[in-house]
Structure 1
Amino acid sequence: MKHASHSLVINADDGALDADVDRCLLELAEGGLLKSVSVLATTSLLESFVKAALDCGLGLGLHVNLVDGRALGGPYRTLTNPRGEFLGPKERFWILAQKGAIDPDEVATEVRLQWDRLVAAGARPRHVDGHNHVHVLPDVYPGICAALAGVDDIYLRVPDESECEHPECAGPVGQARALVAQARWLPEGWRRTDRFVGLKFMQDPTMESIEHLAEVPAATTEWMVHPGGSTANAFRRDPRRAAEAAFLADPRTATVIARWGYRSLRFEDLP
Structure 2
Amino acid sequence: MRADPAARAQATARPPLGHVLVTADDLGASTEVNAAVARAHRDGVLTGASLLVAGDALDEAVALARATPGLAVGLHLALADARPVLPSREVPHLVGADGRLLQDPARVFLRLASSAAARREAAREIAAQVDRFVATGLPLSHVDGHHHLHLHPAVFPVVAERAARAGARGIRLPWEGLAALPEARPRRAAIDAAVLGALARGWRGAARRLGLRFADRVHGIVRSGAMDAAYLLALVPRLGGGATELFLHPSTAPGDARGPNPRDLAALLDPAVRAALEARGLALATYAALERP
TM range (shorter): 0.7 to 0.9
Which of 33-42 and 246-255 deviates more?
Answer: 246-255
What are the residue-to-residue correspondences of 1:120-269 with 2, within 5 Å? 120-148=135-163, 150-152=165-167, 154-162=169-177, 163-165=180-182, 166=184, 167-181=188-202, 184-186=205-207, 187-202=209-224, 203=226, 205-209=228-232, 211-230=234-253, 233-236=256-259, 241-269=261-289
Counterpart pick for 1:59 among 60, 64, 72: 72
What is the alpha-carbon root mean square deviation over aligned residues?
2.7
The equivalent of 2:84 in structure 1 is 71
Amino acid at match of 1:140: V
> How far apart are residue 55 of structure 1 and its match?
1.6
Distance 1:3 1:174 in 2: 35
Q: Give distance in 2, aligned partners of 1:129 and 1:183.
A: 14
Structure 2: distance between partners of 1:6 and 1:184: 22
Unaligned runs of 5+ in 1: none
Matched, 1:90 2:102: no
Measured after TM superposition, the shift of residue 59 of structure 1 is 0.6
Aligned equivalents of 1:236, 1:59: Cα separation in 2: 21
> What is the distance in 2 between the residues matched to 1:4 and 1:150?
31
Q: TM-score, normalised by structure 2?
A: 0.80
Contact map agreement 1:152 1:188 (CA 8 A) in 2: no
Matched AA of 1:188: L
Counterpart position of 1:46: 58
Q: Which has the larger Rg?
A: 2
Segments of structure 2 that go 5 or more residues without pairing to the other structure are: 1-13
The superposition leaves residues 7-58 of structure 1 with CA deviations (integer Å, 9 ceiling, x where unpaired) of: 1110010000101111111111111411100110012421221221232221
Matched, 1:14 2:35: no
Aligned length: 267
In the aligned structure 1, how far is the partner of 2:204 from the partner of 2:73?
Answer: 29
Q: Normalising by the residue count of structure 1, what TM-score does the alignment of the two structures yield?
A: 0.86
Offset of 1:194 from its aligned partner?
Answer: 1.6
Structure of higher RCO (CA pairs closer than 8 Å, 6+ residues apart): 1
